[in-house]
Amino acid sequence: MAEVTSPVVDDKPCFKTNPGIFKLGLARQHILAHDIGQGSQCRNESTCKCEGLDLHFWRKMCKNCGCRMDEHDVVLPNEFDHAQIVIGRLFGVKEHFEKVLTKPGMYKPTDQNDENNMMSRRSQPTAVYNYKMSSSDSESEKDAPTIKKDKVQYAWAPLPDKDLVSRYMKCLPEDERPLVGSKGEQNRKSRLQFQLPLYDCNVEDARFVEEKDVKTLQKFVENVRNNVIGVGRVVEIGKDSDNYGDDSNDFEKSMNAALKGLQVGETDCKDCSKIMKNGEIGVECHHHTKTDTYHPNCFRCETCRQLLVDNIYFFYKNKYYCGRHYADQLYPRCAGCDELIFANEYTFAEEKSWHFDHFACFKCDFKLGGSRYMTRDENPFCLDCYMKHYAKTCDTCQAKIGPDEKRLNYNEIHWHAEEKCFQCVQCHSNLIGKKFILKNHKLLCSSQCKANYNSSHPDDQL
């Protein structure tokens, strides 16, 4: 047979290489939702040992420790501030904020036609972010020993007035003052994520809204923007403040001026009903024709009683709520993914609402609809995962005790409630419902059986 020479491999490309292909990997990469905050430290260090946030692919919970995402010290990409994103979207200035989110500063709504008319009779945001003050302006620097004594910096302040900011912060508990580097700043981050879920106020962030329900979510968001959301304004009681709303009629303006001329300042706190005297710091809410005043530490959500973060409120039926608990009064919230449910049909189990696909085992994500399950710490588990991770082990036969099986307990030791597992190790008499002796994990009915066992087992004395 004649030898055949191997053909020479032609490594020349058939077509010329497009030079632009080498630039593809240099473009800005999108950040997946479950990558945001990846590895963030859990704030519940005393109760769990978390190696860092590893977000479940649809639950808003950490796979490592089971704590919520807002219980981790999550830092948003490019130093975004959660509150600015919410204000940008719900006050109709998304374009403004999402261009300047990396720059500290203040936002004041411009006197533009549609947006200004829409919100003319509501308190508007006047907040400043990363607000620096000298130590003479505030005494709160003791909360953050790592910060130089001559300067303090607040992650958020209600307005750019050093005197009012200093007095306002002193009205709050120390652990609620958002001083950079302090516990108060961490608490603010946590409350922002809990009270103002981004998926409640933006269609793009809601991952589990069916196509047919998108319009319902859009209408919900529009109603929040037009009628519900507002920001409490920090004021000095009895001192003249700027008029709210340029569309108020001349009669309203004249009455406001007359009242200011009389210096009628004292008012009652809407929460605690105590009198707020002239010169005190308060939080005023101007919502349509209604005005309410609160002590700074009394301005809390009607449902969860948390301090309303950054003074952002949702006005509903003459009461003030955080964003989460306002939405919860209109729509059910999935206990699995934490998003609102707009569909007419969903699962209701364990006194909670669930998307059909999200009523699933907390360990393996097996869908539990129509299946038997067990609960632990208010979370559902399939029977296999429950048996593997939580079922008790019989001290005699070393088998797992199923949820349908009866068991006996003594201190932290468990047995099947069956004669074969709960009997005297010497005479094999049934000990269920009788007195027993427990030595070295061995059951005995009497001291006589103990002595007999020791004599017949010299190498295993009890």
pLDDT digits (tens, 9 = 90+) for 52-90: 888 888 888 888 888 888 888 877 665 668 888 888 888
Same structural domain for residues 163 and 84? yes
pLDDT in tens, 241-276: 554 444 444 455 445 545 444 445 688 999 999 999
**How far apart are the C-alpha atoms of 239 and 241, rounded to whole Å?**
6
pLDDT value of position 458: 87
Q: Are residues 94 and 192 in the same domain?
A: yes
Any domain includes 183: yes
172 with 296: CB under 8 angstroms? yes
Domain limits for position 51 = 31-75
Domain assignment present for 5: no
Last residue of a domain, one of 308, 328, 348: 328
Residues 179, 139 share a domain: yes
Distance separating alpha carbons of residues 285 and 293, to the nearest angstrom: 6
Task: Identify the domain boundary among 41, 75, 109.
Answer: 75
> How many CB atoms lie under 10 A from the CB of residue 30?
6
- C-alpha angle 376-381-382 in degrees, rounded to nearest 5: 145
Check whether residue 60 and residue 136 sit in a common domain.
no
Could you tell me where the DSSP H helices lie in 378-445?
A: 383-389
CA distance 333 to 348: 11
Q: Are residues 59 and 198 in the same domain?
A: no
pLDDT digits (tens, 9 = 90+) for 299-352: 999 999 999 999 999 999 999 999 999 999 999 999 999 999 999 899 999 999
Q: Do 45 and 183 sit in the same domain of this protein? A: no
Phi/psi at 235 (5° precision): -140, 165
Tell me the C-alpha distance between 444 and 160, whole Å.
77
Question: Is 46 within the bounds of a domain?
Answer: yes
Instruction: Look at residues 311, 328, 345 and tell me which one is the last residue of a structural domain.
Output: 328
Residue 293 falls inside a structural domain: yes
In terms of Cβ atoms closer than 10 Å to its own Cβ (0-12, 13-18, 19+), residue 36 is middle
Measured CA to CA, the distance from residue 295 to residue 269 in angstroms comes to 6
Can you give the pTM of this predicted structure?
0.75
Does any domain span residue 359? no
Domain-located, residue 14: no
462 — pLDDT class (breaks 50, 70, 90) = confident
Is residue 176 within 8 A of residue 307, CB to CB? The reply is: yes
Question: Which residues, including other chains, have CB under 8 Å from residue 284's CB and lie 6 or more apart?
Answer: 123, 232, 233, 235, 241, 291, 292, 293
Number of domains the chain is built from: 3
Examine the domain organization and report whether 57 and 69 are in the same domain.
yes
Residues 226 and 176 in one domain: yes
- Do 61 and 104 belong to one domain? no
Quick one: 68 and 151 in the same domain?
no
Same domain, 166 and 185: yes
Q: Which residue has the tokens 């919502």?
A: 287
Amino acid at 280: E
- Asked if residues 94 and 115 have their Cβ atoms less than 8 Å apart, the reply is no
Residues 61 and 164 grouped into a single domain: no
Decide if 354 is inside a domain: no
| 50: in domain | yes
pLDDT 10s digits, 128-160: 999 998 766 554 444 455 544 568 999 999 999
